[in-house]
């Protein structure tokens, strides 16, 4: 069995790399965005610290908390969006990485309260359906426990669906959250989402009546993610 220190170090390492990828992929500016990962026992969550510039971020800055948000390891305050991440981890045991950005195109769709429709195979390779938008939070929800309630409207939208089938959601008037089987995977999904959002915008600009057939969507999604997936190389995992 892995010991506690190894688990914590591994989590912090993964989360630091995933957060730095946000900058590498052009998904964030300033200190925007945050990525977290939960360990296999689902007891420890590592997340970006609040307000630390990416260029100065080091391993020891990454904060580890329990599922209630109590800091276990680290001297800094966790990201202010921690409670949103925790709501998602508590509800969906197969989500082990969460990424939040204000990447431009996905945020434009969030602000416009528009879902990102499946318009081609790029979208279908990663997302099994339209990327949907949550409802707006009520005034009371914003004033009472804003970050936790942001998590709740995400849960309300995903419901009992598997969040990894369509690992992205747009929070109305806010921005996207993406999910993954680990932190790096959630950032990869954020990068794809951003590109898909931009492509969708221009596609609809050129032809607002375009219809993408469901059978092509299903073919592309299933050859990568279905029971009999055959895309890519076989791994020995």
Q: Which residues are catalytic?
A: 125, 231
Q: How far is the CB of 170 from Zn ion (least distance, A)?
A: 11
In the bound state with Zn ion, the residue whose beta carbon lies nearer, of 35 and 175, is 175
Residue nearest to Zn ion (CB): 175
Q: How far is the CB of 82 from Zn ion (least distance, A)?
A: 12
State how far the Cα of 95 lies from the Cα of 179, in Å rounded to an integer.
6
Q: How far is the CB of 88 from Zn ion (least distance, A)?
A: 14
Letters for 155-184 (x = contact with Zn ion by CB under 5 A, - = none) are --------------------x---------
In the bound state with Zn ion, the residue whose beta carbon lies nearer, of 124 and 134, is 134
- By C-alpha distance, which of 81, 86, 4 is closest to 37? 86
Pairing of strands 97-100, 176-180: antiparallel
Pairing of strands 71-73, 97-100: unpaired
Number of residues that bind Zn ion (CB under 5 A): 1
In the bound state with Zn ion, the residue whose beta carbon lies nearer, of 175 and 217, is 175
In the bound state with Zn ion, the residue whose beta carbon lies nearer, of 119 and 169, is 169
Q: How far is the CB of 59 from Zn ion (least distance, A)?
A: 24
> Footprint of Zn ion on this chain (CB under 5 A)?
175
């Amino acid at each position: 069995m892995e010991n506690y220190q190894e688990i914590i170090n591994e989590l912090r390492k993964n989360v630091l790399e995933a957060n730095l990828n946000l900058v590498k992929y052009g998904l964030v500016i300033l200190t925007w965005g945050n990525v977290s990962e939960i360990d296999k026992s689902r007891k420890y969550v590592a997340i970006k610290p609040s307000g630390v510039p990416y260029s100065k971020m080091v391993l020891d800055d990454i904060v580890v908390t329990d599922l209630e948000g109590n800091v276990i390891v680290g001297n800094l305050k966790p990201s202010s969006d921690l409670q949103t991440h925790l709501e998602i981890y508590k509800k969906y045991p197969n989500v082990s990485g969460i990424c939040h950005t204000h990447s431009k195109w996905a945020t434009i769709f969030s602000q416009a309260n528009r879902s990102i429709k499946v318009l081609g195979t790029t979208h279908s390779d990663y997302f099994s359906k339209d990327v949907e938008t949550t409802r707006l939070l009520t005034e009371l929800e914003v004033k009472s426990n804003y970050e936790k309630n942001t998590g709740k409207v995400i849960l309300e939208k995903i419901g009992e669906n598997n969040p990894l089938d369509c690992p992205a959601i747009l929070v109305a008037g806010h921005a996207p959250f993406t999910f993954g089987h680990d932190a790096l995977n959630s950032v990869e999904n954020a990068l794809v989402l951003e590109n898909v959002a931009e492509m969708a915008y221009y596609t609809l600009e050129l032809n607002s009546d375009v219809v993408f057939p469901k059978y092509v969507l299903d073919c592309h999604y299933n050859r990568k993610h279905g029971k009999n997936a055959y895309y890519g190389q076989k791994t020995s995992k």
